[in-house]
Amino acid sequence: MSENRQDSSIILETRGLTKDFKGFKAVEDINLQVHTGHIHALIGPNGAGKTTFFNLLTKFLKPSSGKILYDGRDITRHRPADIAQHGLIRSFQISAVFPHLSARENVRIALQRKLGVSYQFWRSIRILDQLNEEAQHLLEQVGLGEFGDTKAVELAYGRKRALEIATTIALKPRLMLLDEPTQGMSAEDVGTVTDLIREVVKDRTIVMVEHNLSVVSTLADRITVLNRGRILAEGDYQTVSTNPAVMEAYMGTTDAA
């Protein structure tokens, strides 16, 4: 629709996005633009509305008002499965990785999901071989080349997150939505996953909620700082980290101005 036409470098946009929980606006009037090829981080102090906003983008929650546009199309009322078909994919939580299947089998299942249930032909040996090859390639891409036969449950925490990213990439996303990709990781694993994200973004866009500011400073092209459900500041790390309002919000000042 012509009213939805936008700059083609903008892959995702929200207009006036609001989520009201019984009168409490957890997200209020958010106008966000995500540029194609960017790593766009959402940060903010506890309770700022990051998770709620992320759940609106991934369609886990319905907005009270406002619009979400993906590739210029209004997807506000679309279901998660519909938007996944168009390449907007939320990374799985670790719990969604099948723990007792091997890393390779987990990636293969994601590849098969991408083929879709209507494609019966993947049963043929040739297609299964192709899937195995593709799964191995993906495992190598995320540094798990030697762990194909290891059960997911036996992988160290950082490697599980790498597997989660591999199963997400297997769905061939154009836009990946990552919810705190480095949460609960050792410093070493944070480095590995940071490198991995940098690697996979080369041909796709990432929106991520991330608490670790050092990760944000190294990865993000653009940062949106949320506070009390609203956008407090936006820009690159240098811009937002020197913004007095952001510093104040992070220091926990409860100025009600």
Ligand X SMILES: Nc1ncnc2c1ncn2[C@@H]1O[C@H](COP(=O)(O)OP(=O)(O)OP(=O)(O)O)[C@@H](O)[C@H]1O
Residues forming the site for ligand X (CB under 6 A): 21, 24, 26, 44, 46-52
Nearest approach, Cβ of 52 to ligand X (angstroms)?
3
Give the Cα separation of 253 and 231 in Å (integer).
17
User: Residue holding tokens 């041909």?
Assistant: 203
Give the residues across from 205 on adjacent strands. Answer: 175
Q: How far is the CB of 121 from ligand X (least distance, A)?
A: 43
Choice between 106 and 227, CB closer to ligand X: 227
Q: Which residue's entry shows tokens 């997200």? A: 27
Q: Where are the alpha helices (DSSP H) in 170-212?
A: 187-200
Sorted by sequence, the CB contacts under 8 Å of residue 235 that are 6+ apart come out as: 222, 223, 243
Sequence letter at residue 75: I
User: Nearest approach, Cβ of 233 to ligand X (angstroms)?
Assistant: 15
b/e per residue 179-212 (b: at least 16 CB within 10 A):
bbbbeebeeebbebbbebbeebbeebbbbbbbeb
At residue 106, the 3 state secondary structure works out as helix
C-beta closer to ligand X: residue 57 or 170: 57
Residue 2 vs 46, nearer CB to ligand X = 46
CB of 50 to ligand X, least distance (A): 4
Nearest distance, CB of residue 142 and ligand X, angstroms: 26
Q: Which is nearer to ligand X, 6 or 51 (CB)?
A: 51
Q: Which is nearer to ligand X, 78 or 228 (CB)?
A: 228
